[in-house]
Structure 1
Amino acid sequence: MKKRFVHLSPPQSLILVFAVAIFFGTLFLLLPVATEEDISFIDALFTATSAMTVTGLVVVDTGSVYTTFGESIIMVLIQVGGLGIMTFAVLIYMVLGKKIGIKERLLIKQAMNQTSIGGLIFLIKRLLIFSLSVELIAIVFLSLRWVPEMGWRDGIYTSVFHAVSAFNNAGFSIWSDSLSGYVTDPVVNIVISFLFIIGGIGFTVVFDLWNKKQFQHLSLHTKIMLVGTFSINVFSLIIIFVLEYNNPDTLADMSSSGKWLASYFQAVTPRTAGFNSIDIGQMEESSLFYIITLMFIGGGSASTAGGVKLSTALIILLATFAVFKEKDNVVLYHRSIRPFLVMRALALTIGSIGVIIVSVFVLNLTEDASFLTILFECVSAFGTVGLSMGLTGDLTLIGKVVLIMTMLIGKLGPLTFAFAFAKSTPDPVKYPHEDVMTG
């Protein structure tokens, strides 16, 4: 009798690997040594999913409910989820001296959102060295701030936890008010924001900058990410500063420098770090809606950030301008963007909007909250951001399950799930064109 083996595609394998990692993370968080009090399976599952997808939404307070062991499990899940579970799988392969075959390389390509399998192993080695080096440097700077305040043990532990959480764009904090206690602290604000900006811009961008240094020699993707990130961060800083300037619950009572620092942190954290230094729930509705837009856009491809990605949003925007100008091609920096990439960006955006619509629709039926609060929470979950207006802790069972699925889809991407469950059917025949009226 012949044995039958189930052959999984790279997207299916990636989903399975993530699900298994989340399951074991849940079991570890349910251990008595991991918590100060009993928690339900669904709360442990939510926390494990939030950590593995580097989101940062929490249904129970991390610092008071979880022990140091439990927080360490969360930190491991964040590191594995942020840098990519396949990154650590490759590390284990190399330590054991095993050969990494084509199947594994295809899975790595899918997990890291790369266009080819060439140079993947070298990229992963550099990624690990770079990531751990940046985190170590940040731990030193944060320790200089927190060790004098908390002592050696607590100061170093706090620095390690927040450095790992920030670089991987997770947004987990051991304090219930996140970083609100350090809203005007320049060291904490600059180091933490530096970590999640570097982690969220994309590793391929960082390595491209390291290798080429001159702007004109950089790849088109790197140019898009550098100019786009700088522009959107500066614009967001001004928007938040203006909208919150007279808000007595956020910036009004701060000094001028404090207002700028708090505005800067809230401007850069939605893409997609999840830390906050002021009470998000007390911000103006206009600010909250703008933050929802930032959370949906997200960071860079091949990074620890989520969202549809900045490059995707820019391609859609450029394609729209091309239509307005009646151009056939999308051109940027004297380079044409292939129609396939425009279609892929459009599919990703529409798929993402679809996931959010379903999540919002269900939560509007199950949760006792305003539409803006529900929309904010769902986009935060999908963008793996972690910012919250306070709804997550009061979610019903159905609400928790919906956000768990939203976080997982947001981390792996709607297209990964589409490729995993949709059968590929290439057209064997080319059909004649016929126009359809639009607009």
Structure 2
Amino acid sequence: MSPRDTDSTNTEDHAALALRLGRAARAASLVLATTPTERKNAALLRLAALIEDAGPQLAEANARDLEYGAASGLSAAMLDRLRLTPGRVAAMAEGVRQVAALPDPVGEELESFDRPNGLRIRKVRVPIGVIGVVYESRPNVTVDCAALCLKAGNASILRGGKEAFHSNSTLAAIIARALRETGLPEACVQLMPTTDRAALLALLQRDDFVHCLIPRGGEGLIRFVAENSRIPVIKHYKGVCSVYVDQAADAAMAEAIIVNAKTQRPSVCNAAEKLLVHRDIAREMLPRLARALVDRGVELRGDAATLAVLSESSVPCIPASEADWETEYVDLVLAVRVVDSLEDAVDFINTHGSAHSDAIVTSDAEAARRFQLHVDSATVFWNASTRFNDGFEFGFGAEIGISTDRLHARGPVGLKELCSYKYLIRGEGQVRG
């Protein structure tokens, strides 16, 4: 019987597993924290080569997962996310090489200063320690997260979904080999050998060994982790992102931005879900924006003012419910609302949004300043698509996720966000009186 099929209720076994993984990861993290950049990069480059060499092995493991997924009734979209094509395997290897090429954040001096008593204080970037990553579906996440955590000097404990168990297990074995061959502890990266949720629950209690958790997946998974964890969690629950078209907006720019934000990839967390249009330009501009969206297959759901404007231009739009203003569709559906002012737009976003990615389209610099100042989101755009909220697009090279939290990390979580810091103080015999 596959570990993904077990439904054990033996809590002692789960507790023992969590303890073993946590203890090994903590020991490995202390080694990794002081490992030179060259050795970490050597492990990553070896991993990339091994992934390329393991094409047939990965194909066999992935075929077993696809067979299981089809038998379990996974949708075509989910099966596609699960599938490891030769191109995707090559992309995984290239992604690891890109991480190896990134600057090492560990040891970077953030600031330094002298105290009047002669103490010299330095603030330097250090690894967080042990990071647990809980995710679903895509096997490439196993490699992405392992590579990013490793480069930032962190040991990682990975827990993938049951639908990708064989693919993830094969990739974990390849990672272990790369670590072993380059002289690093294999426990720098560990995959939980079961997808039993009770085992995950046991891991979520190990705040004595695991320092941070990052859940990646649907809102249900993320809430389960956040609500059951004793360990700090870096997360976002959903992406209810809005584009506000101000009265001073350029029509062509507004059209290009909202079409891109909604349709370029509608299933991702930084896709636009709401369109807000200033009342003074609604009659003139809203039909153009709506037509461009409908022509690309978007279903519009509008408030009374939107319905009235669009009925005059014969653009299809159905009435929005109250639930629509807070729904993340991850589909070609968009809720549209006419607002009386910039302040109304800000209030709508802060009330109904998810503090993820929001944008204003305007040629009025003062309006943009006020919008960016008052919208309480991790990323606020002026005249750009919300789809740019991404670690690669920010120049971080890669990311492990996007955070809407207020503490430690906010926005794309790249290598620097996978670090903490500590103070190094040098004295000359000072004692405190």
TM-score by length of 1: 0.27
Greater strand fraction, Structure 1 or Structure 2: 2
Greater helix fraction, Structure 1 or Structure 2: 1
Name the larger-Rg structure. 2
